[in-house]
């Protein structure tokens, strides 16, 4: 097990009706609020109206930034930063999924920085001060509600970059699974694939003896496998939505990463797809993952795949190692099919036009991954996924 | 899944050499320190000397409270409170296992309270202010290093009571598994039994749909079962000590409890044994647990025992339910035997003298447990454990 530091400062209110906590929590951080959200779903489900009723009761001054994109753009961040600066915003309330929250995180830093917010995303300036953020989650996927990461896209330069800072932890996150009842089937599926990918990214590692982390990771994966299809077919199944929501928060930035290596492989590959083609992140991950698994399976890595197959998928451990490993990969691919996620890149509009440049960009920094990946490796995985 | 609030504010530094963080962290909270510890083990392993070297480098004024008992007494708490008040202590540094940390927690509240500290333990006055606590852990067992609980004994009244407050979370905990290399076999075994009991106390519950919590709990149990015997036989096995240490912190106050019911059954029973006979907590738990399991196994509870048997012990799921459940209980009892923990109450000097009064006291509040327990039930479990 590696040495690690662990603290997740975010306060989580989980469950039905927890939105009521906003009335007590919001005024602790300020009275001038930037409300950040995506499309109209929060209005259709009445959440927007509930929040405005709270604003009125406690006398909040609100400025809105609606229309955050599924892959949030730097232009939207810049617009939010302007609103914060011009209106002396004290606290940001992000209501939505990971995109909305990620956007709010970079706005929170941009509001305290004199230059262009893209500097923050590229890491060319450090995050030294932020506005406090409160989140109300409406999609179980990225885990942004309880982590320190944000991913922002610049479609002009075809960059989709991640940035992290301990200042990016939301102060408070309200997680009411009922707000995900209206998430459509394809987004539920993509969200589940995203959660699973977060877990895979550290479950498949070369650290010796991070046993408890790996057993917990298997528990989280089993939860996704159990409830993904249920939530997909019965969108208002509270139990399924609650489990997926909490596992999304636990998957990304805590109990399974700390003490393990954290060098994601599939995420950087997918970020290139999204940066060039603006596809749904979770869909890209689900398409790539089985091909990545096949590519990296060898004598050195097979034992971890055996653990995965036996402990997560319940495969008979008495079989040959590679038989177990290949069966586990097949079951993973099949699970994405059950969730009705596209299986090939072509299905989401990606052909071989940009494969080389995307592969080259994705492979930067992957020389220390679970299975070190060169540009050639990534290109092979992309081609196999076409 | 129940609604819940989740936040663990403690900052954890985990791994080899993390004691160096004390130099940076301690001065944040004060320069006048009460150093609380138990016996001489921290001197024998050189930890005491390392800490004093840090004190000297950063100019700390130290008052000592040595000699905290394995079941920490209210008299020791009172002595610590006096030291704090007389010396204007600003921060408490607890170096040891759960007993030392629990003692420090109640001292931290007593130092800010004008009356007698036993009032804090009984809950007759609320905890409204505390001194900050930093811990250096030397025993993996109670999880006190990352939770808000404390248990204090009053041997005059034969009371061993738990008290909790969000103010009891340590600010910083330093978890270096190497400090547990010198923990003797019997204490390693008792600590493992304590950790497992914390997990059992919420794993066996009637909450519907706390699936992810239960899968995580199974991962933690598997870790104890895997590493308990290894640490017992190879005390300087870092991997085993690291996994047991981290699982002890995760087992008690976080990811497996929140969203589940928390009505411990075996802990209250054991607290009576300790209160009357001052036995080792983990030993008492290990003796009682299999008998409690047998007593509560019935048509209503069998399914959870089946989950336990199949997911934790790998028992063939195709068998009859009760066969699986009984096999799981037998494997649990056998595991404690492998750890060489006493099997009967008589072995630890307990006869039938106080069984009735202990049973009556232990059963208070257990009417809402996983399996509701009356005084008669507890008495039966005690008698079966003799």
Task: Check residue A254 and give its pLDDT.
Answer: 72
Residues A149 and A200 in one domain: no
Which of A4, A13, A209 lies closest to B243 in CB terms? Answer: A209
Task: Check residue A263 and give its pLDDT.
Answer: 85
Residues A139 and A204 in one domain: no
Task: Check residue B225 and give its pLDDT.
Answer: 98
How far apart CA A379 and CA A363 sit, in angstroms, is 9
Residues A223 and A354 in one domain: yes
How far apart CA B215 and CA B162 sit, in angstroms, is 27
Q: Give tens-digit pLDDT for B61-82.
A: 999 999 999 989 999 999 999 9
Q: Give tens-digit pLDDT for B184-233.
A: 999 999 999 999 999 999 999 999 999 999 999 999 999 999 999 999 99
List of residues 6+ apart from A76 with CB closer than 8 A = A65, A67, A68, A69, A103
- Residues A195 and A227: beta-carbon distance below 8 Å: no
Task: Check residue B325 and give its pLDDT.
Answer: 98
Residue B15 belongs to a domain with what CATH number? 3.40.50.1970
Task: Check residue B253 and give its pLDDT.
Answer: 73
DSSP-derived 3-state class of residue A35: strand
Number of structural domains, chain A? 2
Give exposure, A164-173, as e/b (b: 16+ Cβ within 10 Å).
bbebbbbbbb
Which H or E run includes A272?
helix A266-277
Q: Is B230 on the interface with A (CB under 8 A)?
A: no
Minimal CA separation from B185 to chain A, in Å: 21
Task: Check residue B72 and give its pLDDT.
Answer: 95
Residues B106 and B214 in one domain: no
- Residues A193 and A282: beta-carbon distance below 8 Å: yes
Domain range for B215:
185-385
Chain B, nearest residue to A311 by Cα: B311
**CA neighbours closer than 13 Å in the CB half-sphere of residue B380:** 11
Question: Beta strand A61-65 with A91-96: parallel, antiparallel or unpaired?
Answer: unpaired
Q: Give tens-digit pLDDT for A309-329.
A: 999 999 999 999 999 999 999
R_g of chain B computed on alpha carbons: 20
- The arithmetic mean of pLDDT across residues B28-33, rounded, is 98
Task: Check residue A240 and give its pLDDT.
Answer: 98
Task: Check residue B263 and give its pLDDT.
Answer: 85
Indicate the pLDDT class of residue B157, thresholds 50, 70 and 90: very high
Task: Check residue A50 and give its pLDDT.
Answer: 98
Which of A3, A208, A259 lies closest to B18 in CB terms? Answer: A3
Alpha helices in chain B (DSSP H): 22-29, 41-44, 47-58, 74-87, 98-110, 118-122, 185-203, 211-233, 238-252, 266-277, 281-296, 302-307, 313, 321-338, 355-363, 375-385
Residue B149 predicted with pLDDT over 90: yes
Q: Give tens-digit pLDDT for B244-299.
A: 999 999 998 777 888 987 789 999 999 999 989 999 999 999 999 999 999 999 99
Residue B361 belongs to a domain with what CATH number? 1.20.1090.10
Q: Give tens-digit pLDDT for B309-349.
A: 999 999 999 999 999 999 999 999 999 999 999 999 999 99
How far apart CA A351 and CA A337 sit, in angstroms, is 21
DSSP-derived 3-state class of residue B64: strand
CA dihedral B285, B291, B296, B298 (to 10 degrees): 140
- Residues A304 and A200: beta-carbon distance below 8 Å: no
The answer to whether residue A26 is domain-embedded is yes
Q: Is A3 on the interface with B (CB under 8 A)?
A: yes
How far apart CA B322 and CA B45 sit, in angstroms, is 48
Chain B, nearest residue to A313 by Cα: B311
Measured between beta carbons, the chain A residues lying within 8 angstroms of B239 are 1, 208-209, 211
Question: Beta strand A4-14 with B4-14: parallel, antiparallel or unpaired?
Answer: antiparallel
- Residues B144 and B102: beta-carbon distance below 8 Å: yes
Q: Is B238 on the interface with A (CB under 8 A)?
A: yes
Chain A, nearest residue to B214 by Cα: A219
Residues A172 and A310 in one domain: no
Across A163-172, A363-372, A375-384, least confident range: A363-372
- Residues A244 and A191: beta-carbon distance below 8 Å: yes
Measured between beta carbons, the chain B residues lying within 8 angstroms of A243 are 1, 209, 211-212
Which of B7, B12, B212 lies closest to A11 in CB terms? Answer: B7
The answer to whether residue B1 is domain-embedded is no
Interface test with A, best of B20, B212, B224, B243 (most A CBs within 10 A): B212
Q: Give tens-digit pLDDT for A249-259.
A: 999 877 788 89
Residues A125 and A242 in one domain: no
B212 and A13 within 8 Å at the Cβ level: the answer is no
Measured between beta carbons, the chain B residues lying within 8 angstroms of A211 are 223, 226-227, 239, 243
Residue B170 predicted with pLDDT over 80: yes
How far apart CA A381 and CA A360 sit, in angstroms, is 12
How far apart CA B4 and CA B8 sit, in angstroms, is 13
Task: Check residue B193 and give its pLDDT.
Answer: 97
Tokens of A32: 């001038």
Residue in this structure with the two tokens 């890491």, named with its chain if needed: A123
Residues B215 and B283 in one domain: yes
Q: Is A207 on the interface with B (CB under 8 A)?
A: no
Measured between beta carbons, the chain A residues lying within 8 angstroms of B212 are 219-220, 223, 243, 246-247, 250
First to last CA, chain A: 37
The answer to whether residue B77 is domain-embedded is yes
Minimal CA separation from A196 to chain B, in Å: 14
The answer to whether residue B290 is domain-embedded is yes
- The arithmetic mean of pLDDT across residues B360-376, rounded, is 93
Residues A165 and A189 in one domain: no
- The arithmetic mean of pLDDT across residues A198-217, rounded, is 94
Residue B365 predicted with pLDDT over 90: no
Beta bridge partners of B8: A8
Tokens of A38: 């995506």
- The arithmetic mean of pLDDT across residues A68-78, rounded, is 95
Task: Check residue B262 and give its pLDDT.
Answer: 76
Residues B191 and B290 in one domain: yes
Residues A61 and A120 in one domain: yes
List of residues 6+ apart from B362 with CB closer than 8 A = B268, B269, B271, B272, B375, B378
Give the mean pLDDT of chain A. Answer: 96
Count CB-CB contacts under 10 A for residue A283: 24
Q: Is A216 on the interface with B (CB under 8 A)?
A: yes
Task: Check residue B256 and give its pLDDT.
Answer: 80
Residue A289 predicted with pLDDT over 90: yes
Minimal CA separation from A84 to chain B, in Å: 28
Boundary residue ending a domain (A119, A151, A179):
A179
The answer to whether residue A6 is domain-embedded is no
List of residues 6+ apart from B160 with CB closer than 8 A = B71, B151, B152, B153, B154, B271, B272, B274, B275
The answer to whether residue A209 is domain-embedded is yes
Boundary residue ending a domain (A179, A210, A236):
A179
The answer to whether residue B3 is domain-embedded is no
How far apart CA A92 and CA A49 sit, in angstroms, is 17
**CA neighbours closer than 13 Å in the CB half-sphere of residue A179:** 27
Residue A232 predicted with pLDDT over 90: yes
Give the mean pLDDT of chain B. Answer: 96
Q: Is A13 on the interface with B (CB under 8 A)?
A: yes
Indicate the pLDDT class of residue A372, thresholds 50, 70 and 90: very high
Residues A115 and A206 in one domain: no
Boundary residue ending a domain (B123, B150, B179):
B179
DSSP-derived 3-state class of residue A298: coil
Chain pair A-B, CB pairs under 8 angstroms? 123
A9 and B7 within 8 Å at the Cβ level: the answer is yes
Residues A291 and A361 in one domain: yes
């Amino acid at each position: 097990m590696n040495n690690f530091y662990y603290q997740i400062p975010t306060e989580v209110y989980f469950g039905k009706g927890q939105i009521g906590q906003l009335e007590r929590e919001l005024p602790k951080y300020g009275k001038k609020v930037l409300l950040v959200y995506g499309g109209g779903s929060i209005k259709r489900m009445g959440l927007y109206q509930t929040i405005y009723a709270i604003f009125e009761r406690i006398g909040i001054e609100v400025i809105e930034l609606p229309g955050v994109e599924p892959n949030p753009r730097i232009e939207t961040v810049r617009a939010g930063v302007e609103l914060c600066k011009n209106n002396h915003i004290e606290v940001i309330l992000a209501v939505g999924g990971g995109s909305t929250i990620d956007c709010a995180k970079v706005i929170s830093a941009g509001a305290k920085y004199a230059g262009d917010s893209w500097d923050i995303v590229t890491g060319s300036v450090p995050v030294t001060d932020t506005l406090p953020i409160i989140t109300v989650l409406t999609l179980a996927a990225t885990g942004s509600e309880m982590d320190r990461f944000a991913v922002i896209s610049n479609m002009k330069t075809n960059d989709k970059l991640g940035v992290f800072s301990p200042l990016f932890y939301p102060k408070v996150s309200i997680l009411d699974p009922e707000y995900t009842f209206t998430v459509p089937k394809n987004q539920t599926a993509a969200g589940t694939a995203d959660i699973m990918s977060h877990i895979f990214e550290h479950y498949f590692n070369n650290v010796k003896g991070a046993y408890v982390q790996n057993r917990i990771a298997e528990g989280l994966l089993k939860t996704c496998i159990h409830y993904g299809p249920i939530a997909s077919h019965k969108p208002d199944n509270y139990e399924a939505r609650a489990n997926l929501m909490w596992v999304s928060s636990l998957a990304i930035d805590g109990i399974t990463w700390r003490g393990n290596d954290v060098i994601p492989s599939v995420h950087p590959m997918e970020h290139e797809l999204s940066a060039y083609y603006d596809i749904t992140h979770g869909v890209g991950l689900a398409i790539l993952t089985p091909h990545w698994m096949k590519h990296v399976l060898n004598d050195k890595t097979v034992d971890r795949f055996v653990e995965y197959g036996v402990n997560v998928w319940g495969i008979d451990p008495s079989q040959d190692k590679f038989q177990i490993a290949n069966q586990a990969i097949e079951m993973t691919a099949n699970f994405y099919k059950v969730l009705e996620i596209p299986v090939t890149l072509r299905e989401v509009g990606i052909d071989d036009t940009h494969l080389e440049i995307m592969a080259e960009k994705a492979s930067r920094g992957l020389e220390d991954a679970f299975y070190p990946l060169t540009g050639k490796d990534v290109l092979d995985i992309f081609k196999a996924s076409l």
